[in-house]
Structure 1
């Protein structure tokens, strides 16, 4: 399709053709005047002589014949099977093959898409009502579901890194050398109660199964101090520490059951994932820290603020501790 300012629109082609037919200019001279090739002039002159001004418009690039295209009757059969029986493309393909038709499964799917009936909700006027409503993982009471997760962070060298002093500073160069010497990582183990959103966080040196078991026991004691004496379900991802038999055995002994989410589906553990996001936005990357210890202290202060002072929309704009059975409202010591 030509654009509006193209030199050879249908109007420009008409002028070019008439310069040859009416004015008598040779085709070579017309081609030089309009800055096109001589065969181009010959093509449009021949089309004008054959079809008049209608021949000056662009033709479709569709081939004149397509032997492999399915017949209109078969298309009507596909449309009828879909609308009346609501069959899938695969079932329609199997049915038509049984009748002797030779066609590919993708051909059926493409025609369903062209006909506008590829989705089930396209078949009924109230098709939008057939869509499944978004489901949320809701905890019925405190202790119903406790979500666990680990966030891995690089350690901050003493004196701070490049973020605190700039990339070209001496401290940044020292931090870079320390990074090459493998300063190590900090592992933030977190547990969040799905009903009250009460959170417990510890900064530990690894994420091994034994370390995770110790963290879970201390988290259970923390929840018990807030009136959550029984944990019915522990929800984790599929990390190696959570798949360990010792961890599963410990959870089975101290809680109701251990539930691992579907692989590569972190939204099923979304409560603790959202908690980690808040932790990162409001503490971890809110300002530079001079040392790892300073960051750990800031995390401890923020966790207490989150549990006892920060309003949470899931708790009716009240802090999570107000929704626990014990209704604890005082600030407890940091567990970091």
Structure 2
């Protein structure tokens, strides 16, 4: 018995709700087609997941005309023959052979711009069929070979950390539900989460806050691999890593394979943590993070991992403790490493603004632009610096009540002028005008 074409069987399965009905009420056919077009399918030989109403309708009428035979894909009658004029065909083939990397769109524009073909006459499908017929539609040689990627693991704990952000659930904040973002840093060799926290944003400040806690708990990595998002490109994060001797590495765009272990961590979080959360117990962001940190230390870090030969992430990390770079004396200066510098113009009254609050700086800086040193995590101002990083003094919150009675610095009064001993122009003019002589 002849085997039925698998594509025809697939098309028949799509049409099931239509062809299984003996009679369709008025308007029911279009309603069913519209419903079928909104579903997702595993389409043989295609990466698409949806079908258009027009396609489904065409299959339906083909089935009505010829049954299952009508659903078998037909080979084009003109296959192998191009309808493009021979002169234009030669130009298309020459353009592709001259530069095999030229796309169909580039070839189309090239011929239109050069006046070889009229605008909007050449279709992309016609160009593709022509190139395919001559066997030059794909790149050959090294350019066509897929990039080789192999699984690997860092030599030891602390060698490579990965950083990424996952969109998460909503939590109550000040009476409103706010979306959260899980910011995580993972050690490659041990799968240990050096620190992770749910934040209300995915900004550079959120990432720096998680990095700061990870450094305090798990030492200093040699490499930190992150994606190309704007938050990871922030100058503040780059500066922190440079001062700590961390090589900040950016994944190439559209290559998530470089962070496959973090993607697996995100699945674990969804399947084992978020799925178990009792919303009634989450009254604020702090409640969610408290449960995350308890689950990390008590469950995740103490569960045997198949990729670690049966070791737990914590046990694998502890094997390499002698190799992990410690903060050492830099721990006392860590807060300062995470300070931000904000450019500010000092007003005539010797004040600047930060986060809606006014601060007094040394009055001699009035009218100048300075760097306000701030701790963005605590929203406090630490002092004032010049562009070279030299301290220019403190910045204190403006106290209007205290300023009312504060003794202000006043410049010393100029000494009384000494009467001129020589000729005086005013007196000479007075004598000449009134014909008087000085007695």
TM-score bracket for the superposition, by shorter chain length: 0.5 to 0.7
Q: Which residue of 1 is the match for residue 130 of structure 2?
A: 111
Which structure's residues are more often strand, by fraction?
2
**CA shift digits 1:203-251 (9 cap, x unpaired):** 3544443443232122123223xxxxx4221122344432222221111
1:13 maps to: none
Deviation at 1:321, TM superposition (A): 2.7
For 1:67 and 1:186, how far apart are their aligned partners in 2? Answer: 55
2:310 and 2:234 map into 1 onto residues whose CA distance is 38
Q: Which runs of 5+ in 1 are unaligned?
A: 8-60, 158-177, 225-229, 329-336
Question: For the Cα contact (< 8 Å) 2:197–2:210, is it kept in 1?
Answer: no
Q: Secondary structure at the match of 2:248?
A: strand
Aligned residues: 236
Asked if 2 retains the 8 angstrom alpha-carbon contact of 1:283 and 1:298, the reply is no
Residue of structure 2 aligned with 1:220, choices 215, 223, 230: 215
Determine which of 188, 204, 209 is the counterpart of 1:209.
204
Q: Deviations over 1:92-148 (max 9, x none)?
A: x79xx9xx9956695554312234552346xx9xx9xx7325414744323332111
| Cα distance change on mapping 1:246 and 1:80 into 2, 3 Å | closer
* 1:79–1:306 Cα change, 3 Å: same
Matched, 1:322 2:337: no
Distance 2:88 2:233 in 1: 53
Q: What do the CA deviations read for 1:47-91 (whole angstroms, capped 9, x no partner)?
A: xxxxxxxxxxxxxx979xx996444x9979988999x99956679
The residue aligned with 2:149 is 135
Corresponding residue SS for 2:278:
coil
Match of 2:168 among 153, 166, 187: 153
Tell me, yes or no, if structure 1 residue 200 matches structure 2 residue 214: no
Return the offset for 1:199: 0.9
For structure 2, the residue ranges without an aligned partner over 5 or more in a row are: 1-60, 67-75, 322-439
CA deviation digits over 1:3-49, x for unaligned, max 9? 79859xxxxxxxxxxxxxxxxxxxxxxxxxxxxxxxxxxxxxxxxxx
Q: 2:267 aligns with which of 277, 288, 294?
A: 277
Q: Per-residue deviation at 1:279?
A: 0.6
TM-score (norm 2): 0.42
Distance 2:82 2:100 in 1: 27
Cα gap change, 1:211 to 1:156, in 2 (>3 Å)? closer
Per-residue deviation, 1:294:
5.6
TM-score (norm 1): 0.52
| Contact 1:289–1:295 (CA under 8 A) maintained in structure 2 | no
Aligned CA-pair RMSD: 4.8
Query: What are the Cα deviations for residues 135-171 of structure 1, in whole angstroms up to 9, with x where unaligned?
Result: 14744323332111233434445xxxxxxxxxxxxxx
Q: Which has the larger radius of gyration?
A: 2
CA distance in 2, matches of 1:240, 1:90: 30
Distance 1:67 1:156 in 2: 60
1:238·1:260 contact (CA, 8 Å) conserved in 2? yes
Distance 1:149 1:89 in 2: 35
The residue that corresponds to 1:168 in the other structure is none
**1:302 and 1:112 mapped to 2: Cα distance?**
57
**Which protein is richer in helix relative to its size?**
1
Alpha-carbon distance, 1:284 to partner: 0.7
